Structure 1
Amino acid sequence: MRAVVVTTSYPVSDEDPSGHFVRSSAQALARSGAEVHVIAAGGSVLDPPSQDGGLVVHRAGGGALFAWPGAVARARESPRRLLSAGPFALSVLARLREIGPVDRAVAHWIVPCAWPLLLAAPRAWPLLLAAPRARLEVRAHGADVRLLLGAPRAARAAVVGALLRRDARFVFAARALLDVLAGALAPEQARALVDASRVEPPAFDLPPVAERARALRGALAQRPGERLAVVACRLIPTKRVELAIEAARAAGPGLLLVVIGDGPERAALERRAGCGDGAAASAGDAVCGAVRFTGALPRREALAWVAAADVLLHPSSHEAAPTVIREARALGVPVIACDAGDVVAWAKDDGGILVAEGTAASLAAALRTVASRRSDRAPASLP
């Protein structure tokens, strides 16, 4: 079987945190015996295909828009970046033509990868799909659903309807995403969407982090009694990192908060944490009182910090199936999160996830409860 995966997010290296769940999903498909081609944003259309494990990766440009910390944030920062969407779309169609007929097409994100790109491809080149009704799988992760919810009702219905007419099968990262999108459609179309859908959190793989986590934990041991809370995310408004900073301050002395990630909110967050005018904001490390900003880290290093922590804080207001929470739990780290996506449902089955209200006071109370249970987990037991 030949398959193609179209995505706007895919890691450029093993340590790039962007789109690693897309990569894991594609690798799982390759392990099933499929010949898998990935068409991803970034690089240049002049770049030759590259091998990534069992995958063949074709870059299609568009990195000015489709890159960290996300297309929406990048477009807000510089609207001119939207101009790269057109060339990216044309490059994707060209790559599809180069790859030739496939038996299965997978789109990560409803918009723009499933609609209009994969829907346009068979009309542009009828031989693209090996069979007239070759399988089309659409994976929804969150930002795409929110984009549809913000669109006019007629546009939303047109996109979903076009995919349903193509007999697409939908895979939602979280039940909450399916429910909210179905609830925004006419009853008949909503029923059709539910019938064509399943819920499956994105795949992820954990690299070995025990040695580095042990070193980080050892450094913390030099400051007896101090507890470590970690936030790992893009620094954008919906992640509400300011609540984590205020909660850490309200939780009392003896708590170090490490913020992993970068984005347009970094300078404002540093000012809130006590770094004066925010001039410390950079691609590197900054310490603002009891808050440390690491900037964007290689994925393995970020996961080592999570593994070394007493608790992962995740105050985000908009989520689906947040990978970092599942990674933390796989590493044995307790999580304090707010109600978003499927987090509440997970907490019902996992006592290591505590759901707090989206206020600094509620998060601080949860921190005092969870972080006070500091364990002596041996990082050597971690992946």
Structure 2
Amino acid sequence: MRAVVVTTSYPASDEDPSGHFVRSSAEALAQRGVEVHVIAAGGSVLDPPSRDGRLVVHRAGGGALFAWPGAVARARESPLRLLSAAPFAAAVFERLREVGPVDRAVAHWIIPCAWPLLSALPRTPLEVHAHGADVRLLLRAPRAARAAVVSALLRRDARFVFVARALRDALAGSLAPEQARALELASRVEPSAIDLPPVAGRAAALRGEIVQSPGERLAVVVCRLIATKRVELAIEAARAAGPGLRLVVVGDGPERAALERLARRTGLAAESSPAAGGAGIAATSEGRAAVRFTGALPRREALAWIGAADVLLHPSSHEAAPTVIREARALGVPVIACDAGDVVAWSRSDDGILVADGTARSLAAALRSVRSRRSDRAPAIFR
């Protein structure tokens, strides 16, 4: 059996933090004996196919738009990047022609991967994975356009996989009742597969850099630094939580400079790292490190910071099935998050996830309840 996966998110290397959920999903398919070809954004249309374990990866360009920190953020920063969408689509169609006949097609993202790109394979069984940003884009589109996209995929007999029930409910709730019922019958809810490398040794070393006494606690935020992640609430909560709390912000993005200014205004920051790496340290009046901005890090290093923490802070307002929360729980790290996507549903079956109101005060109260070191946590696995 042969399958093709079309996606705008796929890691350029093991240490690239982008798109590992797609890679894990494709790898799970390959483990069942399927020959899997991945057509992904990035690289150049001139690049020959490459091997990634069991997978054959075909690059289709489009990196000007489909790259970190996300197509929406990149288009807002420079609308001209939208012009790369057409060449990317043309390259995908050419890659599909080169791959040849397949028995199964998988799209990661409703738009643009399922519709319109995989319309080029009208008779091939199609599985569509919805991750969040694609559904939110549809919800912002005119009702007629949204209905037309869903109708086209349903006529195609597509099967939908939503990573969060909240996503499916939101999309179905925006459709006419008959179309909503058809979507629900053609779909299931299943969080994306995750695959974690061993990070325990590095996590212990990182923790030793930050935590200097038994009473100190380490909170970590890992995300793209964009407005919807609300990292400003984490910074304000760290200040309000009182002495003994260290905060590490892992990631980069258009909000970074504003966040560093906020840290300085709240009396937490003394210095900052370059935007593309290094470790910027924000200090209290006593000179002790209170906030560290690491910038963008390789995936294994980012996971090690999670493993080093007493708690992962995730105050994001727009989520579906946040991978970083699932990674933290798989590493045995408790999470303080805000109500978004399926987070509240997860918290009902996992007491390692605490849901706080979307305020710095509520997050600070939750942080004050975190003990200084984990000793009795067991990993929680979401299925």
TM-score by length of 1: 0.93
Number of the residue aligned with 1:17: 17
Amino acid in the other structure paired with 1:108: H
Do the aligned partners of 2:130 and 2:160 also contact (CA within 8 Å) in 1? Answer: yes
Contact 1:106 1:136 in 2 (8 A): yes
Name the aligned partner's letter for residue 346 of structure 2.
Answer: W
For residue 76 of structure 1, report the CA deviation from its aligned partner.
0.6
CA contact (8 A) 2:270 2:282 kept: no
Distance 2:225 2:270 in 1: 18
CA 1:278/1:169 → structure 2, altered by over 3 Å: closer, same or farther? farther
Q: Which residue of 2 aligns with 1:126?
A: none
- Which residue number in structure 1 is paired with residue 293 of structure 2? 293
Q: Are positions 1:282 and 2:272 aligned together? A: no
Is 2:369 the partner of 1:375?
no
Matches within 5 A, 1:259-278: 259-274=249-264
Counterpart CA distance in 2 for 1:303 and 1:207 is 9
Pair 1:165-2:165 in alignment? no
For 1:106 and 1:339, the matched residues in 2 are separated by: 30
Distance in 1 between the 2:272 and 2:245 partners?
Answer: 24
Matched, 1:105 2:105: yes
Residue 286 of structure 1 aligns with an amino acid whose one-letter code is: G
Report the Cα offset of residue 110 of structure 1: 0.2
Residue 296 of structure 1 and its aligned partner are, at CA, apart by 0.6
The whole-number CA distance in structure 2 between the counterparts of 1:224 and 1:44 is 51
Residues in 2 aligned to 1:277 and 1:135: alpha-carbon distance in whole angstroms: 56
Counterparts of residues 113-262 of structure 1 (less than 5 Å): 113-119=113-119, 121-122=120-121, 132=123, 134-262=124-252
Instruction: Give secondary structure in 2 for the equivalent of 1:274.
Output: helix
Alpha-carbon distance between aligned partners in 1 of 2:349 and 2:55, rounded to the nearest angstrom: 35
Deviation string for 1:237-273 (max 9, x for gaps)?
Answer: 0000000000000000111100001100000000001
Q: Give the structure 2 partner of residue 336 of structure 1.
A: 336
Stretches of structure 2 that go unaligned for 5 or more consecutive residues are 284-289, 379-383
Q: After the TM superposition, which parts of structure 1 deviate over 4 Å for at least 4 consecutive aligned residues?
A: 275-281, 376-379
2:365 aligned with 1:365: yes
User: Residues 367, 277 of structure 1: CA spacing in aligned structure 2 closer, same or farther, 3 A cutoff?
Assistant: closer
Aligned letter for 1:283? A
How far the C-alpha of 1:377 sits from its partner, in A, is: 7.1
How far off is 1:214 after superposition?
1.6
| Contact residue 240 and residue 317 of structure 1 kept, 8 A | yes
CA distance in structure 2 between the partners assigned to 1:195 and 1:272 by the alignment: 47
Kindly indicate whether the alpha-carbon contact (under 8 Å) linking 2:271 and 2:280 is maintained by their aligned counterparts in 1. no
1:122 to partner: Cα distance: 3.2
| Residue number in structure 1 paired with 2:305 | 305
Query: Structure 2: how far apart are the matches of 1:214 and 1:33?
Result: 38
Q: Distance in 2 between matches of 1:298 and 1:184?
A: 38
SS at match of 2:257: helix
Cα distance in 1 for partners of 2:270, 2:2 equals 54
Cα displacement string for residues 46-102 of structure 1 (whole angstroms, at most 9, x for unaligned residues): 000000000000000000000000000001111111110000000000000000000
Classify 1:217/1:281 alpha carbon distance in 2 versus 1 (closer, same or farther; 3 Å): closer
Q: CA deviation at 1:223?
A: 4.2
The 3-state SS of whatever aligns with 1:259 is strand
1:291, distance to aligned residue in structure 2 (A)? 1.1
Cα RMSD between the aligned structures? 1.7
Structure 1: runs of 5+ lacking an equivalent: 124-131
Task: After TM superposition, give the deviation of residue 286 of structure 1 in Å.
Answer: 1.4
SS of the residue aligned with 2:225? Answer: coil
CA deviation string 1:89-121 (max 9, x = no partner) = 0000000000000000000000000000001x1
Q: State percent identity of aligned pairs.
A: 80
The 1:96–1:278 alpha-carbon spacing in structure 2 relative to 1, beyond 3 Å, is farther
Q: How far did 1:376 drift? A: 4.6
Query: 1:269-320 CA distances to partner (integer Å, 9 max, x unpaired)?
Result: 0000117899855212211221110011111000011001000000000000
1:267/1:279 contact within 8 Å kept: no
Contact between 2:199 and 2:300, CA under 8 Å: does it hold in 1?
A: yes
> 2-side partners of 1:377 and 1:228: how far apart?
17
Which amino acid is the alignment partner of residue 169 of structure 1?
R
Q: 1:279 to 1:288 in 2, by over 3 A?
A: closer
- Alpha-carbon distance between aligned partners in 2 of 1:100 and 1:141, rounded to the nearest angstrom: 27
